[in-house]
Structure 1
Amino acid sequence: MRAIWKGAVSFGLVNVPVRLYSATENHDVQFRQVHRTDGGRIKYKRFCSKDGEEVAYDDIAKGYETEDGSMIVLTDEDMADLPTRSSKEISVEKFVPEDQIDPMLLDKSYYLEPDKSATKPYVLLREALEVQGRMAIVTVSIRTRMTMAVLRVRDGVIVMQTMLWPDEIRAADFATVEDQEVSDKEMSMARMLIDELAGDYDPDEYEDDYALAVEALVKAKLEGGEVQQPEVEEEESGEVVDLLAALARSVEKAKASRGESTSSAPATKAPAKKAPAKKSAAKKSTTKKAAAKKAPAKKSTAKKSAPKKKAS
């Protein structure tokens, strides 16, 4: 594991240097958007909805949309004036009973590892939390913004879980289910059903059957040779277009220096290759610029390899 943050837990006059590790990771199946016919990745460009022009990353600012749809542009200077904290301190505000923390408030989890020199105060805090049955309410700055969190103990390790702000918990905005009269027989049957399904939670009894099915499907397609080679990155193909444009301008310039006419020479575009006869009619709608960028992909003879699951 790799530490993502270094700081210290402070409570009273006690200071415990710690390292922060992400305690969870996302194993959701990740898909790419691709062209159905050749597997090429779909690329998106940033453009302005007003003038339709492509916008460079350096010209993009943060915008705050008001309730009436108006847009307020916030500059870097505006953002610099906002209250932020860069403190490397996990400051304990108070110790509260565990049952006072609504699980809905808990967000992302992190493990806290003590420095070698801080093992004793770390153990002291851990034992005190367990014996008292309490959690520590703390404030911490992660990525400059201050947030609330709790410290609790799990399997002998202090875990920090960031918290949502109270106004981020939505109310159940629908009609409350009215009480209904339930007969003794119905209640008895319900209790019997609960007793039949009662047991202890064992995480090993559950698995992500969807992810396993996707892996099996991908493996079968690999073994069957249904593999599309990735296209050349957009930046590289863009350089090719620029090179072709430069070559075309050079040809025009050379002809002009010899007094030859350049009206028939293309300005910036390279001649597009003819599409294979088997191409569908839908492909004919591809622009000339895209045709100049991308040459027909050669059939790969590379050894196939099993797909790697992407960690989030």
Structure 2
Amino acid sequence: MRTIWKGALTFGLVNVPVKVYSAVEDHDVPLHQVHDEDGGRIRYQRVCEVCGKTVAYADIDRAFVDEGQTVVLTKDDLAALPAQRSKEIDVVEFVPSDQVDLLTLDKPYYLEPDSSSPKAYVLLRKTLEQTDRTAIVRFTLREKTRLAALRVRGEVLVLQTLLWADEVREASFPALDESVTISRKELELSASLVESFSGDFDPSAFVDEYQQELRTLIDAKIVKGEAFEAAETFGDAEPGGGEVIDLMEALRASVERSRAARSDENASDAADQPAAPKGKGRKKAG
């Protein structure tokens, strides 16, 4: 696997240097468009619809288009935005694992400890397991701020990006508003059918038959000599990294800081309470 990001996972004053890897990969056979007469690759050019010229990538700006209006955003405009470029994965809170809606889970990443000692990494992993909690974190990847769930899978910490709340559509189907009566017998028969298909889930037992047949077809054409060489280039991994600080000291300082913050909040709440009314009928000094 190739590292796609390096940084540090932080909670309180604890710093856990990590390397990030994509946890999944597409198994589909990559297919390109070619000219049917000579097999030449068909490539797309960036052409301006106004002047008809082919435009270099360096000369392209971005724009927001809505209801016939176009707002151009230059590279300087975007650079002026408060985009985070931090190499830290900041823990926002630890929540019960069953509160993370599966619908919001997006792309998963593996985290590998990136230090001479994996102690802080293992400590966080064991803590999440023991407390049955999932860490909600914020981090920046490819110049975008992401929200993610940090959880445990076997011996590895897994970072899974989350969809933002406004990216999940509400399900509203009028048909489900109608009252439907299910008889006891229908429910029993349905449960019996489910039982007949019951078993333990084994992902390796399922294969993508279409992709297998496609690969078989490609191999057959190669054997017949119906292939020619083509080259591909790949980019380099992104640099970065971090260092581990004293673990016990960081834990103690984090706990103390958290307690102090709560104490300040309680003191502030008490100060905001209205004062008790003073007693009446005070005697004058004689």
What TM-score results when the alignment is normalised by the length of structure 1? 0.69
Report what 1:99 is aligned to: 98
Counterpart-to-counterpart distance in 1, 2:225 and 2:15: 59
Matches within 5 A, 1:268-307: none
Deviation string 1:141-184 (CA, Å, 9 cap, x unpaired) is 11232211111000111111111111111222543423421122
2:146 counterpart of 1:153? no
Give the length in aligned residue pairs: 230
Q: Which has the larger radius of gyration?
A: 1
Alignment CA distance shift 1:13-1:19 (3 Å): same
Report deviation, 1:229.
Answer: 6.9
Answer yes or no: is the 8 Å Cα contact 2:10–2:89 preserved in 1: yes
Counterpart-to-counterpart distance in 2, 1:54 and 1:115: 44
Kindly provide the amino acid, as one letter, of the partner of residue 39 in structure 1: G
Kindly provide the amino acid, as one letter, of the partner of residue 120 in structure 2: P
Report what 1:213 is aligned to: 213
Give structure 2 stretches of 5+ with no counterpart: 231-286
Compare relative contact order (CA 8 Å, sep 6+) and give the higher one, 1 or 2.
2
Counterpart-to-counterpart distance in 2, 1:229 and 1:130: 50
Q: What's the secondary structure of 1:110's corresponding residue?
A: strand
Answer yes or no: is the 8 Å Cα contact 2:18–2:114 preserved in 1: yes
Deviation string 1:37-85 (CA, Å, 9 cap, x unpaired) is 322211222211122222232321111112x032111111111111211
Kindly provide the amino acid, as one letter, of the partner of residue 121 in structure 2: Y
Matches within 5 A, 1:132-151: 132-151=131-150
Report what 1:10 is aligned to: 10
Report what 1:43 is aligned to: 43
Kindly provide the amino acid, as one letter, of the partner of residue 114 in structure 2: D
Deviation string 1:126-146 (CA, Å, 9 cap, x unpaired) is 111111111001111112322
Counterpart-to-counterpart distance in 2, 1:121 and 1:184: 54
Counterpart-to-counterpart distance in 1, 2:104 and 2:29: 26
Kindly provide the amino acid, as one letter, of the partner of residue 108 in structure 1: K
Counterpart-to-counterpart distance in 2, 1:8 and 1:123: 14
Counterpart-to-counterpart distance in 1, 2:92 and 2:63: 34
Residue range with higher mean Cα deviation, 151-160 or 22-31: 22-31
Q: What's the secondary structure of 2:222's corresponding residue?
A: helix
Answer yes or no: is the 8 Å Cα contact 1:18–1:114 preserved in 2: yes
Counterpart-to-counterpart distance in 2, 1:10 and 1:43: 44
Matches within 5 A, 1:148-227: 148-177=147-176, 178-227=178-227
Answer yes or no: is the 8 Å Cα contact 1:23–1:110 preserved in 2: yes
Report what 2:250 is aligned to: none
Counterpart-to-counterpart distance in 2, 1:118 and 1:164: 33
Answer yes or no: is the 8 Å Cα contact 1:16–1:118 preserved in 2: no
Report deviation, 1:188.
Answer: 1.0
Answer yes or no: is the 8 Å Cα contact 1:4–1:21 preserved in 2: yes
Report what 1:265 is aligned to: none
Report what 2:284 is aligned to: none
Answer yes or no: is the 8 Å Cα contact 2:29–2:215 preserved in 1: no
Deviation string 1:89-118 (CA, Å, 9 cap, x unpaired) is 111111000110011111111111113434
Alignment CA distance shift 1:179-1:47 (3 Å): same
Report deviation, 1:228.
Answer: 5.9
2:77 counterpart of 1:78? yes
Answer yes or no: is the 8 Å Cα contact 1:65–1:71 preserved in 2: yes
RMSD: 1.9
Report what 1:261 is aligned to: none
Counterpart-to-counterpart distance in 2, 1:150 and 1:180: 38
Give structure 1 stretches of 5+ with no counterpart: 231-312
Alignment CA distance shift 1:81-1:190 (3 Å): same
Alignment CA distance shift 1:36-1:173 (3 Å): farther
